[in-house]
Structure 1
Amino acid sequence: MILINSVLQIFYYAFLGKAYKLADLSIVYPLARGSAVFFIPLWGVIFLGETISSSATVGILMVFLGLIFISVIPILSNKLRVNRNLLVGIFLSILVGLNISFYTIVDKQAVSSVHPFVYPILITIGGSIGAILFTGSKSKINDLKIEFKKNYSSVLLGSSFMYLAYSVMLYALNISRMSYAGNPHVN
């Protein structure tokens, strides 16, 4: 499970990074998160046999539609021109959402055998090794070293909060249905 999640994390960062290069944050982020909100309960029902209450279904759909609507506003208001980069960015954003939903399934299965506060450390190690191999560029690795030396306190603080937030979400996955815990907006 750790290896699968590590590979999915590498693709997550690759797709997300490319989407941010091609399309605006106001489109990429809501689409990535919004599509994940849709896919996670779908996979919970299909693959894990979970059931979703009608009120939770309404809540999930409202969050999903709201996030999609937010991402479409810049396009409808003509603040962004529709072009190939934007369309590829939208496609990559949806791939990010799919990726989030896939690693949420893996997370749900993994936390039944690995403690939710240990698991993120293991996948971070695996994902980091994979990212280094994936980038394969000494200049990019040196850029990371320089950034860390320059902003180590911010990097450590942000990393700590990210670890804590992810661990809490994993704990919720361990005690709840993936369809709900993977969508903190509808709990």
Structure 2
Amino acid sequence: MTFYAVLLVVFSALLHAGWNVLGKSNNGSGYSFTLGASLAPFILLLPYLVWCLSVIGFNNLTLSFWSLLFFSAVGQVVYLVGLLRAYNLGDIGVIYPIARALPVLMVGVITVAIGQALTFNAWLGFSILTLGCLLVPMRHFKDFRLRSYVNLSVFWAFIAAVGTTIYSVVDKQALSWLQYETDGLSSHQVAIFFLGMQFAAIAIVLITWLLLTGKRHELALTWQYRYRSATAGIMMALTYGMVLFAMTMVDNVSYVVALRQVSIIFGVLMGIWFLNEKWFYTRGVGVSLVLVGLLIALV
């Protein structure tokens, strides 16, 4: 990874932890918060999207692109709803590290399966990082055992991790498609274009789901909690826009996914400062392992 790509991902991680604190403190449901958070950046980016479509040409976006966009949106919805459901059941200092840890190895396995290579150092670093993430939620070292993770909040964190894995792999494929199959946009313009289209797709998928399942009251809740969710959505857009731009600079998305886990450190500290969550020695060791794993994998 280039130094510029590293800076983008690290700064995005700080913003990512910030909107997660807002997500933890929201009073609406996962659906309404996610819908509000997706509509706000889409509306802001709408004029830009119209311009990009005029440059690219709407007819040049084939079924391959629309399929990737759909699966990306589904992954994002699964991630966001799973994460917010988990936050309703547990501390951000517990849920956030688990939801962020599991995709590191999941994405690594998938990228290797589709033909990309990872070094031994990368696998070692990813493993140490994941161990650190799983240790962060523990209050005592003796709690580091399987039954400590067998609960509903961790289940929803796992669902969120599956969503992250889906959209991370799909988004890299979609960006590559846009870069090689279309003309007229630079790498950062492609990243912002896909970001706006992704938020539009998330909103469409969610609204369709709410209408089909008879949850129309969630639409009213979206308006009721619009300010907090819109703020989180704008932070999400800034965060993931930087990540998408960084993805255009690397061949293997696994390294971007791994580096994003520095947000765990920010998330734990923000949980302590803003949500009065507790600090334990185990969290200190876990955070240290996250840093060591990142250094081994990326240096």
Same structural fold, with TM-score higher than 0.5 when normalized by the shorter chain: yes
The aligned counterpart of 1:50 is 116
CA contact (8 A) 1:26 1:74 kept: no
The aligned counterpart of 1:17 is 84
Say whether residues 1:118 and 2:185 are aligned partners. no
- Relative contact order, higher structure (CA 8 A, sep 6+): 2
Residue 68 of structure 1 and its aligned partner are, at CA, apart by 0.5
Residue 33 of structure 1 and its aligned partner are, at CA, apart by 0.5
CA contact (8 A) 1:10 1:131 kept: yes
CA contact (8 A) 2:71 2:166 kept: no
TM-score, normalised to structure 2, is: 0.53
Say whether residues 1:162 and 2:236 are aligned partners. yes
Q: Name the CA distance, whole Å, in 1 between partners of 2:129 and 2:85.
A: 25
The aligned counterpart of 1:103 is 167
The aligned counterpart of 2:210 is 135
CA contact (8 A) 2:79 2:162 kept: no
Summarize the Cα distance change of 1:119–1:45 in structure 2 as closer, same or farther, 3 Å threshold.
same
Q: Name the CA distance, whole Å, in 2 between partners of 1:98 and 1:75.
A: 27
Summarize the Cα distance change of 1:27–1:35 in structure 2 as closer, same or farther, 3 Å threshold.
same
Identity of aligned residues (%): 21
Highest Rg: 1 or 2? 2
Q: 1:146 aligns with which of 202, 217, 224?
A: 224
The aligned amino acid for 2:154 is I
Write out per-residue CA displacement over residues 28-76 of structure 1, whole angstroms, 9 at most, x where no aligned residue. 21111111122111211122x2222233222212211111001233795
Q: 1:91 aligns with which of 155, 161, 164?
A: 155
The aligned amino acid for 1:95 is I
Superposed CA RMSD: 2.6
Summarize the Cα distance change of 1:95–1:43 in structure 2 as closer, same or farther, 3 Å threshold.
same
In structure 2, list runs of 5 or more residues that go unmatched: 1-67, 179-189, 263-293
TM-score, normalised to structure 1, is: 0.81
Q: Name the CA distance, whole Å, in 2 between partners of 1:98 and 1:41.
A: 13
Matched residue count: 178
The aligned counterpart of 1:71 is 137
In structure 1, list runs of 5 or more residues that go unmatched: none
Q: Name the CA distance, whole Å, in 1 between partners of 2:239 and 2:109.
A: 23
Q: 1:8 aligns with which of 63, 66, 75?
A: 75
Say whether residues 1:171 and 2:240 are aligned partners. no
Q: Which moved more, 1:24-33 or 1:115-124?
A: 24-33
Q: Name the CA distance, whole Å, in 2 between partners of 1:30 and 1:164.
A: 21
Q: Name the CA distance, whole Å, in 2 between partners of 1:63 and 1:120.
A: 28
Q: Name the CA distance, whole Å, in 1 between partners of 2:236 and 2:84.
A: 18
Structure 2 counterparts to residues 26-45 of structure 1, below 5 A: 26-45=93-112
